[in-house]
Structure 1
Amino acid sequence: MTGIDLLMEEHRALEAMLDALEAATKRVRDGENVPAGAIEEIFNFCKRFTDGCHHVNEEQILFPALAAHGLTPDMTPMTVLAAQHESGRAFLEDLQNAYARLVAGDDSVRKEVHVLAREYAGMLREHIAIEDHYFRSPAAQALTPAEDERLQTAILECARGGGPCGRRDFLDLATRHRNAVATW
């Protein structure tokens, strides 16, 4: 499996968590119960894995390697991808702040929590689609074996450095949430 394949595998986990986020916040909007800790766990995944590992590996390893092969950050789609990483961070912060207000007792933000979750999920799904459909092949062709190995190593090591969860733990968490949503 190549480094690009590992990133694509992570995309499937990200999509599962986005589905779970939207389902959970829809229940919040509708005044229904969500399993204790589920939303916080999704936020943790989005912050630590999506942004703290997946996007960091793209920004610090993949994008510079591709720039060395002429796919520079000022070229679309790399410009869009980098900007979406920043947008995702802002969306997640707004969403977490709105949810914190809800947890603190402000029921007036129920709809806002769901709207922000849908916007965040929509932006990330667009981001994933760009990477999957327009970026995967040129990136895979551009990387040398040494660059690919460096990317693979970074992907497999990144989550370990962020705390007790490794990459496999995050991917398994996404599967558990995908399965849990089906029972809500």
Structure 2
Amino acid sequence: MSATNQLRADHDQVKRLEKIVFKCSEELKKGADIPFSDLSKIMIVISEFIDTIHHSREENSYFPCVSDHGSLKDEIHRFLVEHEFGRNVARLISRHLKLWKEGSDEREPVSRYLNAYGVFLKDHLHKENKFFDTAEANVLTKEEEANMYEEYKSVFAIVKKVEDMIKEIDYLESRPWNLSK
């Protein structure tokens, strides 16, 4: 496997979460009761998997390696801005979820910001996958790909955390509110 393929594999998991986020938003909008524990799990996956692991791989390793070749710098800058946008939307979801847990009626903003986060993921993943195709074909060497991949899998705690996050996504996919038509 290569670094690019690892990031694509991450994207496959993120796409699963994207579907969950959209479904959760839709169900909340309809007035369905979704346990706070499930909403919290969604936020944990966003924070710990998408932001802490996946975006860190891109921002701290992949993007700098591609940028070192002097190409695709504008695209990388746009992705960094988009990552920050995603973090901001996630903070808004968390803020309104906290207020909701404290008794305020925050169903609508939680639903709205979940939907916004889903839209962000859908658009962002599509653009990044095209970027990966270009970087893999025209920029990165096989050695760079292999070295970055080895770096990704060398941190056992991160590998274990990814496995845990995939289990959380599995759980969320199986929830009754997510299975309804």
TM tier, shorter chain?
A: 0.7 to 0.9
Residue of 169, 174, 179 corresponding to 2:164: 169
**Partner Cα separation in structure 1 for residue 50 and residue 154 of structure 2:** 14
Give 3-state SS (helix, strand or coil) of 1:46's partner: helix
After TM superposition, list the pairs within 5 Å mapping 1:79-94 onto structure 2: 79-94=77-92
CA shift, 1:127, in A, is 0.7
2:52 counterpart letter in structure 1 = G
Give 3-state SS (helix, strand or coil) of 1:100's partner: helix
Q: Match for residue 135 of structure 1?
A: 131
Normalising by the residue count of structure 2, what TM-score does the alignment of the two structures yield? 0.87
Give 3-state SS (helix, strand or coil) of 1:37's partner: helix
Number of corresponding residues:
178
More helix as a share of residues: 2
Give 3-state SS (helix, strand or coil) of 2:50's partner: helix
What residue ranges of structure 1 are gaps of 5+ in the alignment? Answer: none
Confirm whether residue 111 of structure 1 aligns to residue 108 of structure 2.
Answer: yes
1:59 counterpart letter in structure 2 = E
1:5 counterpart letter in structure 2 = N
Contact 1:54–1:155 (8 Å) recurs in 2? no
1:16 counterpart letter in structure 2 = R
Normalising by the residue count of structure 1, what TM-score does the alignment of the two structures yield? 0.86
Select the structure with the greater relative contact order (CA < 8 A; seq sep ≥ 6): 2
CA shift, 1:3, in A, is 1.3
What residue ranges of structure 2 are gaps of 5+ in the alignment? Answer: none
RMSD of equivalent CA atoms: 2.2
Contact 1:88–1:120 (8 Å) recurs in 2? yes
After TM superposition, list the pairs within 5 Å mapping 1:23-172 onto structure 2: 23-35=23-35, 37-73=37-73, 75=74, 77-107=75-105, 109-132=106-129, 134-141=130-137, 142-157=139-154, 160-161=157-158, 165-172=160-167
